Amino acid sequence: MTRFAPGDLVAVLTTQPLDRALDYRAPEGGCGVGDFVEVPLGPRKVLGVVWDEGIGSYDLSKVRAMNRVLDVAPMRDEMRQFLTRAAEYTLTPMPAMLRLATRSPGLGSDVSMRKVYARGGVEPDRITDARRRVLEALAEYGDLSFTLSELSEMAGVGSSVVKGLVKQGAVIERDTPRDAPYPRLDPDLPGKVLAGNQAGAADTLVRAVASGTYGTTMLRGVTGSGKTEVYLEAVAECLRQGRQALVLLPEIALTSEFLSRVEARFGAKPAEWHHGVTQTERRRCWRMVGEGAASLIVGARSALFLPFRDLGLVVVDEEHDTSYKQEDGVLYSARDMAVLRASICKAQVVLASATPSLETWANVEAGKYGALTLTSRFGDRAMPQMRAIDMRGEDLPGGRWVSPSLQAQIADRLERGEQSLLFLNRRGYAPVTLCRACGEMIACDHCDARMVEHRFLKRLVCHQCGETKPMPEVCPSCKVEGKLAAVGPGVERMAEEAAALFPDARVEVLSSDMYQSARALKARIEAIAAGDADIVVGTQLVAKGHNFPLLTLVGVIDADLGLQGSDLRAAERTFQLMRQVAGRAGRAERPGEAWLQTFQPEHHVIKSILSGDEDGFWAAEAAERKAAGVPPYGRMAGIVLSSPDMQAAFDLGNHLARIDGPLRRIGAVLYGPAPAPIARIRGRHRLRMLVKAEKSAPLQSAVSEWLAQVRVKGDIRLSVDIDPQSF
Ligand code: ADP
Ligand code: ZN
């Protein structure tokens, strides 16, 4: 790596919203490309990375000196290359990309200069309750060190208690954080004996990892077929090679169940990177990944931006999951970024799913990805039986949603002491609050969205901006009292109905907004899995990656819900979600059933869900997308213009539509500007434009050339989404 002598001119990329790297003088002791540094910017000190030689484009006498080089492993060439290519692909400015790669608490120059605290060798003279809590908190994390505020927060004491212990030597104060490496994982502990085609699939992956080259493989198999067991063998091989492995899970699937499986296989728990872990743990993870002292990381999508020293394998579990697409800030697909990162560092990618995305199918078809299929559930447990309940023939009073047929099924499970899941992808009590006097539906003041009643919170909530207000007594429009009525079902209302139908059953709602923290939610999921509920009413949260061994019935309240609207991906999503939810039933010794309430049992998507004819479904989907020329058989970019001033946004949009030469030159077609699917959020009007191009067209360069012709001024914001989720 290039070294610079003190005083040399170097270019530093900072995380500040600037459009380029800035020149600085190398500090005393010099620096090298990739070093994390602290540099002055105006009156502030900011974090940056030494990126290149300086360009010296402005007055050399004004170039300032860096403050210092931070005490962390420098950013590797591979990482700089990854960030550069990811920025090009997603049309994201480099500083925003760098921010993703520096999300470590303690990395910002301010935090890293704080003192940290660890256990000292001396016992305190007198032990109080508060002191004991501090020492226990430190004991729990072994050799980790904490900042003062972290430690007092963890122990639930004031900082003076910690200071008191420092004075006695029971706690010591250090200048730099020193984090403990993770326990070693042993790849050679005996794993499960793989059965049927599991062994062949594992073998293929193991050989791919051993080859030390890049490659991507789709690992497909119904829920319970043993995909996890199979990819853990690929992880084992990666560890044997002395390289690092990353397993990405949808955030909610990051439960202790998965960690325990890793521990059972490798003798120790992996490092974790997601919102549910403490700041201290994240800082430790970030540093140890960079030093190669963490060999297996289990994390959410942002873990892709950790500073791996030698990444050999990335598993994207439930690869079709929509939460892998980051929907604000930098708009990236974790699946695509995993492939990009792996191709740069010669690693293997495994895309595991029961219902792979059409994108992945297309890449298999094109010969870019390998494909492995596990054909049956482990131990030949049957896939749940899928059946339709034709709601047109059910006798159901208004304001009720559980059909007599479904009710009978639930009663049956209760009698046998088994669990039922009622699935409805709608948070809250009711999606609409209507005034029966004037017909007004209560909407958010800032968004083009209805307020959703949440009885548990006793408030109306906007699911777009999060704004809440108390449930009004009188209609905000006509001021008539007592006429507001809940219309339509949400999970809370379903739970009410279930409790009324089965007064003796333990009914529980599983929805993200019912819990204070991710940790509390996960704890609750584990308790329910252990049998602590009879009827679970849940949103798509429950569809993801957790085993409920006692669950034998899934009742889908409204299987038609996702099929409404014009989104071309609606069929794919519904198919995936329904198959995945159904897969929750019958995972243990007992067979499961999934009953779908529908008003259109003849709909081709509903029919494929019921028959399980995946190949037929994907073939039909692929044909439709090919005909429309949309992803994955064509390319798209979505541009959203937002502004408090609708006219200003329209003016810019119309102007952009007139100067679309760069798009036309690559044969792309531009649609819009038109109001976005949600036309106003947080008081900002939103317009969308869609660019559609052929698969082989250089979409990014054309879009950036096109957008470079305008300057986005005033209060308008423009965001570009390459490969948008909906179209
Ligand atoms: P998937 O990831 O496809 O949903 P899992 O790997 O979680 O499937 O397997 C489902 C269940 O079957 C798990 O409890 C797993 O431990 C068990 N299982 C799968 N394969 C084997 C095997 N070869 N030997 C023993 N248990 C297995
Ligand atoms: Zn709102």
Tokens of 697: 């067209």
Nearest-CA residue for atom 24 of ligand 1? 192
Q: What is this structure's pTM?
A: 0.85
User: Is residue 376 lining ligand 1, measured as CB closer than 6 Å?
Assistant: no
Q: Which pLDDT band, with edges at 50, 70 and 90, does 111 fall under? A: very low
Query: For the domain 196-374, what is the CATH code?
Result: 3.40.50.300
Q: How far away, in angstroms, is 377 Cα from ligand 1 center?
A: 8
Q: DSSP string of 628-673?
A: HT-TTSEEEEEEEEEES-HHHHHHHHHHHHHT-HHHHHTT-EEEEE
Contact 206, 237 (CB under 8 A): yes
Tokens of 284: 């430790």
658/378 Cα distance (integer angstroms): 58
Largest pairwise CA distance in the chain: 84
- Average pLDDT rounded to a whole number, residues 44-66: 84
Span between the terminal Cα atoms of the chain, in Å: 44
- Give 116-169 pLDDT, tens digit per residue: 777 777 788 888 888 988 888 777 655 456 677 777 877 788 888 988 898 888
Contacts of 354 by beta carbon, 8 Å cutoff, 6+ apart: 220, 221, 222, 223, 225, 227, 579, 580, 583
- Average pLDDT rounded to a whole number, residues 81-88: 96
Name the range with the highest mean pLDDT among 45-54, 420-429, 582-591: 420-429
Q: Which pLDDT band, with edges at 50, 70 and 90, does 421 fall under? A: very high
**pLDDT above 80 for 544:** no
Contact 461, 428 (CB under 8 A): yes
What local confidence, expressed as pLDDT, does residue 106 receive? 59
User: Is residue 546 lining ligand 1, measured as CB closer than 6 Å?
Assistant: no
Contact 258, 227 (CB under 8 A): no
Q: How far is CA 476 from CA 279, 452, 453, 462, 464, in A?
A: 43, 15, 15, 16, 20
Sheet holding 451-454, edge to edge: 451-454, 459-462, 468-470
- Give 363-414 pLDDT, tens digit per residue: 999 999 999 999 877 776 677 889 999 999 998 888 899 999 999 999 999 9
51/143 Cα distance (integer angstroms): 34
What local confidence, expressed as pLDDT, does residue 511 receive? 82
What local confidence, expressed as pLDDT, does residue 315 receive? 98
Tokens of 721: 């989404």
228/615 Cα distance (integer angstroms): 23
Alpha-helical runs (H) found in 246-318: 256-266, 279-291
Arithmetic mean of pLDDT over the chain: 88
Half-sphere exposure of 578 (CA within 13 A, CB side): 32
User: Is residue 233 lining ligand 1, measured as CB closer than 6 Å?
Assistant: no
Q: Which listed ligand is nearest to 381 at the C-alpha?
A: 1
What local confidence, expressed as pLDDT, does residue 423 receive? 95
CB under 8 A, 24+ apart: contacts of 654-658: 655/710, 656/689, 656/706, 656/707, 656/710, 657/689
User: Is residue 580 lining ligand 1, measured as CB closer than 6 Å?
Assistant: no
**pLDDT above 90 for 13:** yes
What CATH topology corresponds to 113-177? Answer: Arc Repressor Mutant, subunit A (1.10.10)
What local confidence, expressed as pLDDT, does residue 674 receive? 94
Q: Which listed ligand is nearest to 465 at the C-alpha?
A: 2
Q: How far away, in angstroms, is 352 Cα from ligand 1 center?
A: 14
Alpha-helical runs (H) found in 50-127: 77-90, 94-101, 109-112
Q: Which listed ligand is nearest to 220 at the C-alpha?
A: 1
- Classified as helix, coil or strand, 410 is helix
Q: Regarding beta strands 3-4 and 31-32, do their DSSP bridges make them parallel or antiparallel, or are they unpaired?
A: antiparallel
**pLDDT above 90 for 554:** yes
**pLDDT above 60 for 257:** yes
Mutate to test the pocket of ligand 1, among 377, 378, 587 (most ligand atoms within 8 A of CB): 378
Whether residue 31 is annotated as binding a ligand: the answer is no
User: Is residue 195 lining ligand 1, measured as CB closer than 6 Å?
Assistant: yes
What local confidence, expressed as pLDDT, does residue 252 receive? 65
Whether residue 462 is annotated as binding a ligand: the answer is yes
Q: Which pLDDT band, with edges at 50, 70 and 90, does 85 fall under? A: very high
What local confidence, expressed as pLDDT, does residue 38 receive? 87
Write out the CATH class of domain 3-80: alpha beta
- Residue with the bigger pLDDT between 659 and 465: it is 659
Q: Which of 371, 369, 630, 404 is nearest to 412 (CA)?
A: 404
User: Is residue 221 lining ligand 1, measured as CB closer than 6 Å?
Assistant: yes
What is the DSSP code (8-state) at residue 63? Answer: P
What local confidence, expressed as pLDDT, does residue 109 receive? 40
Contact 539, 556 (CB under 8 A): no
Contacts of 720 by beta carbon, 8 Å cutoff, 6+ apart: 90, 91, 331, 637, 638, 639, 703, 707
Contacts of 398 by beta carbon, 8 Å cutoff, 6+ apart: none
- Classified as helix, coil or strand, 716 is coil
Contacts of 533 by beta carbon, 8 Å cutoff, 6+ apart: 419, 506, 507, 508
In the block, which residue shows the tokens 């006429």? Answer: 483
Structural element, H or E, at residue 227: helix 227-240
- The domains of the chain are located at 3-80, 113-177, 196-374, 385-429+488-622, 634-722
In the block, which residue shows the tokens 């509920």? Answer: 533
Positive/negative CA dihedral, 447, 453, 458, 463 = negative
Q: Which of 419, 451, 454, 422 is nearest to 434 (CA)?
A: 451
Contact 591, 552 (CB under 8 A): yes
What CATH topology corresponds to 385-429+488-622? Answer: Rossmann fold (3.40.50)
Q: How far away, in angstroms, is 544 Cα from ligand 2 center?
A: 27
Whether residue 238 is annotated as binding a ligand: the answer is no
- Residue with the bigger pLDDT between 34 and 251: it is 34
Tokens of 588: 């243990």
Q: Relative to the CA of 225, which ligand 1 atom is closest?
A: 3
User: Is residue 712 lining ligand 1, measured as CB closer than 6 Å?
Assistant: no
Contacts of 609 by beta carbon, 8 Å cutoff, 6+ apart: 386, 559, 574, 575, 578, 579, 582, 596
User: Is residue 227 lining ligand 1, measured as CB closer than 6 Å?
Assistant: yes
Neighbours of 615 (CB within 10 A): 9
What local confidence, expressed as pLDDT, does residue 717 receive? 93
User: Is residue 598 lining ligand 1, measured as CB closer than 6 Å?
Assistant: no
Q: How far is CA 556 from CA 96, 296, 575, 581, in A?
A: 41, 37, 13, 9
- Give 28-44 pLDDT, tens digit per residue: 999 999 999 989 988 88
- Residue with the bigger pLDDT between 348 and 577: it is 348
Characterise 726 by phi-psi region: left (phi > 0), alpha (psi -120 to 50), beta (else).
beta
Alpha-helical runs (H) found in 292-403: 334-345, 358-365
Q: How far away, in angstroms, is 226 Cα from ligand 1 center?
A: 4
**pLDDT above 60 for 68:** yes
- Average pLDDT rounded to a whole number, residues 604-610: 91
Backbone angles phi, psi at 566, to 5 degrees: -110, 0
Tell me the helices (H) and strands (E) count for the chain, helix number first: 21, 32
17 by Cβ neighbours in 10 Å (0-12 / 13-18 / 19+) ranks as exposed
What local confidence, expressed as pLDDT, does residue 113 receive? 45
**pLDDT above 50 for 531:** yes
Q: How far away, in angstroms, is 469 Cα from ligand 1 center?
A: 46
User: Is residue 224 lining ligand 1, measured as CB closer than 6 Å?
Assistant: yes
Going by CATH, does the domain composed of 634-722 fall within 3.30.70.600? yes
Q: Which pLDDT band, with edges at 50, 70 and 90, does 484 fall under? A: very high
196-374 and 385-429+488-622 share one fold: yes
311/238 Cα distance (integer angstroms): 9
- Average pLDDT rounded to a whole number, residues 219-232: 91
Whether residue 438 is annotated as binding a ligand: the answer is yes
What residue type is 635 in one-letter code?
R
Mutate to test the pocket of ligand 1, among 227, 229, 249, 321 (most ligand atoms within 8 A of CB): 229
Task: Using a pLDDT cut of 90, give the percent of the chain over it.
Answer: 57
174/37 Cα distance (integer angstroms): 21
Q: Which listed ligand is nearest to 443 at the C-alpha?
A: 2
47/35 Cα distance (integer angstroms): 11
Backbone angles phi, psi at 106, to 5 degrees: 95, -10
